[in-house]
Structure 1
Amino acid sequence: MRIIGLCRFSYPALGGFRRQLHNVSEREAYLYDPERMELRFRHFEMLTLPSIQAQEDEDFTFLIMIGENMPFPYLERLQDLTTLVPQIKIVPTPAMQHRPAAQSVILNELGEDRPESIQFRLDDDDAVGKEFVRIVRRRANQTARMRRHWRNMAFEFRKGFFVNLSPDGIRAKRVKTEFLSCGLAATFRPDDPLTIMNYPHHKLHNKMPTLIETSPAMYLRSLHEDNDSNASKQIGLLEPLSPKTRLLFQERFNVDEGRVRTTFSAPTSPREAG
């Protein structure tokens, strides 16, 4: 059984933006704005990448889906960041509707003789716990007999944190949510033409049986001004990390508040500014 994760990194999908962007050129101009890209890279470096790099079960593939026209300085920076993580593959993808595009990326990775798979998605500014891959594989094995007559089964982790990163460090709030995109995975049969990206994450439980994990905390969901949602309104409810939570972030998510302060205090590098 293969485990496949998908991350869309500033991919210029057709549709799906709250802003009125009428063509691919407008989407790319918005996505590749230097200030925006610096914000995305800093979150990716501090949240997504360390949590993926620290997975206790290393037998998985993490696909980073990017646009074919990503400017070379950003592509080079992404390659430099991920080169030491063998599970990561960067996949340049033509601009199209985001669900078919993501579906094709996952199916191409699985190949013609597709095995059974567990699939998950993770935004480029979120994180999952270091045991995420290990636990979802274990749950799939434990439910194998139960799943024999089911097309799919989902595994959801309800507990996590909303976080905001800044030069002051990390502000956070412990939360219990329902079917966020992070902390969610699903099984797929070898002959299934669909993928995790063909299902809206908040409706996944309407399409397949679901095992809900009430503990441990398994995700960090970032809140910031570039979130494509209303989540940024909740930043004021977050609090500075306590020593206990700071240690938890380090041990469970491989997220270091000291590195966050340093990274978010740094000026934009010349490569990104140009």
Structure 2
Amino acid sequence: MTEQPFTLVERHACCGGEIRCLSHQSHELGLPARFNLFLPKKALAGEAVPAVYVLAGLTCNQDTFLIKSNAIRYAAEYGLALVAPDTSPRGADVAGEDEAYDLGTGAGYYVDATSDPWAAHYRMGSYVRHELPAFVEKHFPIKVGRRGIMGHSMGGMGALSVALGDAEAWTTVSAFAPIAAPSRVDWGQKATATYFGGYEAEWGQYDPCLLLQSGRTHPGMFLVDQGLDDEFLTRLRPDWLEQAARDAGQSLTLRRHEGYDHSYWFVQSFIQDHLKHHAEGLL
């Protein structure tokens, strides 16, 4: 008998489909990794469907986006699968990984660390870009190569950088309050010193503004929403993203919203527009 390549931790009926909480051994992370998968009704019947990968922000995990965003209701309506990875490896036993909310556990930034001892396990960049999509498309009724990606905050940064880094692999892209230029704000600078050993040039692969400035663009339109009452606005810098996109010729719809903050109440308010954006490009 062939050994199952993943462990089904939990399953729950939801919106006519099913949520599956899964664990598998990740080659990139060198550790077990958890992700959540929402399969709409069509997929449960065996029909392959496109998938949207949803990336959560600092301090979150694989549950956060799906539980708090209300994305499942609209994914079910449009017939899209959702894939939600964790935000960092767990159990790496790196000294200091649990000391701060913005570094280490829950704060992988969707990058590959190059500095020891972080480099052995903190490889969320390659995990999200390559390993997880290949794994999901191999083992579940998901259309090969029909992928969208979106995220919130750190996850919004991840979504933009993943799409810009390999535009052919990702059809649709959107973000809520993304960290637009991590190499130039304190969150990213802290990560530079730790994950990259102080080598700032490493951000060139992951910083959305730097990628755009280097000439990397995506053929689709980026949909980005930003609350103007966001307490982290000076760290997120949507204005820098807007300028970089304009200079690079990247199609971008950046919507600013008075009265909205950084929370998932903000995400809930506009999540339907994002799922519609992905459905129009993927179906």
Q: TM-score range by the shorter chain?
A: under 0.3
The one of the two structures with greater contact order (alpha-carbon pairs below 8 A, sep at least 6) is 1
TM-score normalised by length of structure 2: 0.27
TM-score normalised by length of structure 1: 0.28
